[in-house]
Structure 1
Amino acid sequence: MKLSWSVEKNNQLKAHPDRGICFEDIVAAIDHGGLLDDVAHPNADRYPGQRVLVVFCNGYVYGVPYVQQDDGTLFLKTAFPSRLLKKRYMGGDDNGKKS
């Protein structure tokens, strides 16, 4: 699976106090078996053509919206911790994280 992303967006994710994640972390998690699912975007009307990778990374479940480019590369749009995805894929409580 070939992945790409915006350097600017990656820097924004690194600097965001509630995200605590970057695309390199997501790629490392996927490489180590952390890809839990690939689902349709829940708001396809607003984000046509996007899907969401569900990734277990750094002890939490993240949603990672992406678009597939013409060459098959998945262009990652953002990454966010999700209580809903954590509950769906891991069970248990939310450990204080926000979706």
Structure 2
Amino acid sequence: MNFDFDAEKNELLFRERDVTFQNVIDAIKEKGVLADFKHPNMEKYPNQRIFVVELNNYTYCIPYIENEETVFMKTIFPNRKFLKLLENKND
């Protein structure tokens, strides 16, 4: 699986949230994906899906678009709603 992202967005995420797309890629390679589902607002984002990954003992959502060759990550945001997945994983 090849990953891609906007370099400017990556810098912005690092400055504002202290997280990068490379952190996400490393987390996926090391720990896998906790969840992967269609974007809940399919009208506005018809081709997007969302990864949920663990970063620094917290859950983050990563909306993305996928084609045959590449997963293009759009952004990264923390989401406490998925902490239960982390608890279940550690049991």
Per the shorter chain, which TM-score range?
A: 0.7 to 0.9
Matching of residue 82 in structure 1 with residue 79 in structure 2: yes
Shift of 1:14: 0.4
Q: CA RMSD in A?
A: 1.6
Instruction: Provide the secondary structure at the position in 1 that maps to 2:22.
Output: helix
Unaligned runs of 5+ residues in structure 1 are 92-99
Matches within 5 A, 1:15-26: 15-16=15-16, 19-26=17-24
Larger proportion of helix: 2
Unaligned runs of 5+ in 2: none
Aligned length: 88
The equivalent residue for 1:94 is none
Counting aligned pairs with the same residue, the percent is: 39
Alpha-carbon distance change, 34 to 56 in structure 1, aligned in 2, over 3 angstroms: farther
SS of the residue 2:34 aligns to: strand
Q: After TM superposition, which residue ranges in structure 1, 4 or more long, deviate above 3 angstroms?
A: none
Query: Under a length normalisation based on structure 1, what TM-score does the superposition of the two structures give?
Result: 0.81
- After superposition, what is the alpha-carbon deviation per residue over 1:3-39, rounded to whole angstroms, capped at 9, x for unaligned? 10000110110010xx221001001101102411211
Alpha carbons 1:34, 1:57 under 8 Å: kept: no
Q: Distance in 1 between matches of 2:41 and 2:21?
A: 22
